[in-house]
Structure 1
Amino acid sequence: MARQQQQQQTNNSIKPVYNQCKKNGSLTIVIKLGTSSICDEVTHFPLLSTLSMIVETILKLKSLGHRVILVTSGAIGVGLRRLNLPSKPKDLAQVQAIAAVGQGRLMSMYDDLFSQFNQPIAQILLTKNDIADRTQYLNACNTLDSLMEMGVVPIVNENDTISVSEIRFGDNDTLSAITAGMVHADYLFLMTDVDCLYTDNPRVNPDAKPVLVVDDIAALKEKVSVTTPGSSLGTGGMITKLIAAELATAAGVTTVIARGSTPQRIFDIITLPIQRTGSASPKLDGDSLITQAYDSTIPLHTRFLAKDNPLVDRKWWILHGLHAAGTIYIDSGAYKAITKATQKSSLFAAGIVDCKGSFVAQQSVRIVYRPRDFIKRDGGGNGLSTAEGSEAEGDHNEPEEIEVGKGLVNYASHEILRIMGCQSSQIIERLGYADAECVIHRENMTRTKLTKP
């Protein structure tokens, strides 16, 4: 308990120092540049013309008072060219070695280009481990903010040289969304090799229609094709961009898919809200954007509208920054209590029916409700029952699982297995001590599903 309090005090001593002001319409913009925009897919030579235009675009944005972060891919592609290798190998150690060679060369190219305009840059290499720890997460946030306040352009990439599957973001689309959430960005631009999202793959279907504005990504996935693969050098495709858009919009970041070879279009895209409302804020209603987007003077792009009630910093970190160390399964009563629209409840031991994984106190876990799980337990006197007999004969169309959210636990997995199903007053009888009344406090919980079973 003392260790938990000490860790909490340490975390509380470090606060994010985001510059929240929007002086003279200043925006915070994150630009993600994919491998296909940096390297030729066949020869692996760097696309210097595209990189030069990106640099010029960033410099112009800064001259207008905006704060800009560049999230870049390309280390492996540049490494292949530097080592004269024909293709990316399958062996992980070899890929990481190539990334180590390419990362230095990639940053050297960026430094050469930005130095032509006396613009300082900074390299930030991240893995999931760097944001899983609350203190490191806040330090990363503050470093990014301080760099931008100093006039430096942070260039962010995943640390491919040491990343393994357990700590990888998986692709830089996800990394860019996490970065945008960390700095409370106004815009995230996912620069790719197409103008926008289409109803089908435009390379094979000439009847594919552009998707201009999206306010419901889940519904969009059911209506459009997202099978367009990434390049042979990259790790993502269109589906990873939709996932990134979900992450970023949940944090209140308007997300845009646009063509990487024409970065100057960013200016037209960010001035669209000014034309409509006179404000630099990217938040507009969908109908207004669709009407304006069909104007031939506005470049094709797909705009994902930011959520009106974005997750605050700590909630964002819990939901997207932490790797879930296990899963807690809850009954219908707990599900209703922690997902109600008004005052949401903490998760108590009485509402827990199962626990999977091995974890300690203060680690992150998934919270899952299984409508079809009606296993009765007596637990040696626990008196647990997840449902009445009549419910077990209910709707067989219920989903197998509903992920309610994630949270930081007050008890380790072996402790939860002993106290699940009991009242808070009984915890001390089961364990001999009681560190907390609840297993997950509502302030340490982020919900992802609010529909009732």
Structure 2
Amino acid sequence: MEPRVARFAPAACSRLVVKIGSALLVDGDGKVRRDWLAGVLDDLVERHRAGQGIVIVSSGAIALGARRLGLPKGGRASLEDAQAAAATGQIALSQVYAELLHERGLTAAQMLVTLDDLEDRRRFLNASATLERLLSLGVVPVLNENDSVATAEIRFGDNDRLAARVAQAAGAGGVLLLSDVDGLYTANPASDPNATFIETVEKLDARIEAMADARSASGLGSGGMVAKLQAAKIANAAGAHLAILSGKVDHPLARFAETGRGTVFVASGGARAKKAWLAGRLTAKGRLSIDAGAAKALRDGRSLLAAGVTAVAGRFERGDVIEVWTDDGAVARGLAAYSNDEAARLAGTRNDAQEVILGYAPRSAMIHRDHLVLL
């Protein structure tokens, strides 16, 4: 087995998250491809028997529900249609997983989560604790976004990024995204015959991100290569390797282990739990703009001081997650030490002037280095 593929084997990865997309799971008639799914679960059962904890993130509820309700555009014509389709299809989806895993001697557990569940620190820890207990019992958790209550503004919108966040919550060392594409190319291979396949990404930088195509090939799913690269960034920040591989074959996990066909995004090392949670967040309450001196201080591992802040935007309270921006975009994320009103009053001031402005002794920083992560 190739070293890049061996990172996802049970010996090197005690817990694995596998994401299954709608285009793979549901056929054109809106029915579950049971034989194909059975093959995937056979692969997972082998890994489970080898001691690897397995978590499944599965799309498909909206596509299944849309067929049962006769909704147009696969249930995605409106948010209301998607919510109704999800509520109808989720019960069918969970039943399929429960039946097929039971036939293989394993117990399935269903968890539905929203973006808020993994963005709020306390709820994230609750979800993490639930996953920990289920895995310790040998159960296979099957997760999906709770689309029946999610809103257009507060939702993941794709299960690629959800899988990466779930990997972080579960303490997984690897994420496999089964997709209708077999990995990352230098350009969209459907339109560019000169597109080159990329086997390994050691550093996910702007050059790699420029290769992404936002479209979903099937029209059934909601993700695309952009979402997959965002998922890779989230997973890698938490110390988890991520691979994109084709699910358009039987037994795709066994094929990946044998052939190595897929793109592997290598994690260089995991951040501490709170910092990994910060790095993986998709929302922030506000923004601090900073000057070049403050940006250098952050790169040197120091806290963000008020003197380097040039502007404050958004409404936030102490302890809320905010982003730090330079002229080049977001460079860091952290927990605010002040509300937006206080931060605006302190912006650009040195510590010796802050007590007069606040009326009380100032805190050590706008964002302390222990509560800050670089992006």
- Same structural fold, with TM-score higher than 0.5 when normalized by the shorter chain: yes
The match for 2:26 is: 39
Q: CA offsets per residue over residues 401-446 of structure 1, 9 Å max, x none?
A: 3422011111100111112222223222112123522211110111
Letter matched to residue 154 of structure 1: P
Q: Are positions 1:328 and 2:285 aligned together?
A: no
SS of equivalent to 2:333 = strand
The match for 1:220 is: 208
| Alpha-carbon distance in structure 2 between the residues aligned to 1:446 and 1:118 | 42
Letter matched to residue 204 of structure 2: I
1:173 to 160, 165, 172: 160
The match for 2:183 is: 196
Specify every segment of 5 or more residues in structure 1 that has no aligned partner in the other structure, as ranges.
1-21, 271-296, 371-400, 449-453
2:81 to 79, 89, 94: 94
SS of equivalent to 1:51 = helix
The match for 1:210 is: 197
Answer yes or no: is the 8 Å Cα contact 1:182–1:313 preserved in 2: no
Deviation of residue 333 (structure 1)? 2.1
Q: Are positions 1:85 and 2:71 aligned together?
A: yes
What aligned pairs does 1:178-189 form with structure 2 within 5 A after superposition? 178-189=165-176
| Alpha-carbon distance in structure 2 between the residues aligned to 1:242 and 1:413 | 32
| Superposition RMSD in Å | 2.2
| Alpha-carbon distance in structure 2 between the residues aligned to 1:237 and 1:25 | 29
| Alpha-carbon distance in structure 1 between the residues aligned to 2:182 and 2:367 | 44
Deviation of residue 151 (structure 1)? 0.4
SS of equivalent to 2:213 = coil
2:136 to 142, 149, 156: 149
Structure 1 pair 333/77, CA: closer, same or farther in 2 (3 Å)? same
Deviation of residue 198 (structure 1)? 3.0
The match for 2:261 is: 300
Answer yes or no: is the 8 Å Cα contact 2:318–2:337 preserved in 1: yes
Letter matched to residue 300 of structure 1: R
Larger Rg: 1
Q: Are positions 1:369 and 2:296 aligned together?
A: no
Letter matched to residue 259 of structure 2: I
Q: Are positions 1:434 and 2:322 aligned together?
A: no
The match for 1:423 is: 350
Letter matched to residue 304 of structure 1: F
Question: 154-163 or 129-138: which moved more?
Answer: 129-138
Question: 347-356 or 71-80: which moved more?
Answer: 347-356
Q: TM-score of the superposition, structure 2-length normalised?
A: 0.90
Deviation of residue 84 (structure 1)? 3.2
SS of equivalent to 2:303 = coil
SS of equivalent to 1:368 = strand
| Alpha-carbon distance in structure 2 between the residues aligned to 1:262 and 1:114 | 20
Answer yes or no: is the 8 Å Cα contact 1:71–1:157 preserved in 2: yes
| Alpha-carbon distance in structure 2 between the residues aligned to 1:411 and 1:227 | 37
Q: Are positions 1:30 and 2:54 aligned together?
A: no
What aligned pairs does 1:230-379 form with structure 2 within 5 A after superposition? 230-262=217-249, 264-267=251-254, 269-270=256-257, 298-307=259-268, 309-321=269-281, 323-340=283-300, 344-370=301-327
Letter matched to residue 64 of structure 2: V
1:60 to 46, 54, 59: 46
SS of equivalent to 1:160 = coil
Answer yes or no: is the 8 Å Cα contact 1:26–1:65 preserved in 2: no
| Alpha-carbon distance in structure 1 between the residues aligned to 2:254 and 2:355 | 61
Q: TM-score of the superposition, structure 1-length normalised?
A: 0.76
| Alpha-carbon distance in structure 1 between the residues aligned to 2:89 and 2:105 | 24
Answer yes or no: is the 8 Å Cα contact 2:304–2:365 preserved in 1: yes
| Alpha-carbon distance in structure 1 between the residues aligned to 2:250 and 2:17 | 13
**Between the two proteins, what is the percent identity of the paired residues?**
34
Answer yes or no: is the 8 Å Cα contact 2:320–2:335 preserved in 1: yes
Answer yes or no: is the 8 Å Cα contact 1:230–1:236 preserved in 2: no
The match for 1:109 is: 96
Structure 1 pair 49/338, CA: closer, same or farther in 2 (3 Å)? same
| Alpha-carbon distance in structure 2 between the residues aligned to 1:252 and 1:234 | 27
Answer yes or no: is the 8 Å Cα contact 2:13–2:173 preserved in 1: no
SS of equivalent to 1:217 = coil
Structure 1 pair 324/28, CA: closer, same or farther in 2 (3 Å)? same
The match for 2:6 is: none
| Alpha-carbon distance in structure 1 between the residues aligned to 2:366 and 2:222 | 38
Answer yes or no: is the 8 Å Cα contact 1:50–1:260 preserved in 2: no
Structure 1 pair 322/430, CA: closer, same or farther in 2 (3 Å)? farther
The match for 2:36 is: 50
Letter matched to residue 414 of structure 1: D
SS of equivalent to 1:71 = strand
Answer yes or no: is the 8 Å Cα contact 2:289–2:309 preserved in 1: yes
SS of equivalent to 1:167 = coil
SS of equivalent to 2:162 = helix
| Alpha-carbon distance in structure 1 between the residues aligned to 2:76 and 2:14 | 40
SS of equivalent to 2:43 = helix
Q: CA offsets per residue over residues 260-283 of structure 1, 9 Å max, x none?
A: 14363424645xxxxxxxxxxxxx
Letter matched to residue 326 of structure 1: G
Deviation of residue 150 (structure 1)? 0.3
SS of equivalent to 1:434 = coil
Q: CA offsets per residue over residues 290-317 of structure 1, 9 Å max, x none?
A: xxxxxxx62522212222x332211011
Deviation of residue 178 (structure 1)? 1.0
Deviation of residue 138 (structure 1)? 1.3
Deviation of residue 56 (structure 1)? 1.5
| Alpha-carbon distance in structure 2 between the residues aligned to 1:405 and 1:225 | 23
Specify every segment of 5 or more residues in structure 2 that has no aligned partner in the other structure, as ranges.
1-8
Answer yes or no: is the 8 Å Cα contact 2:309–2:347 preserved in 1: yes
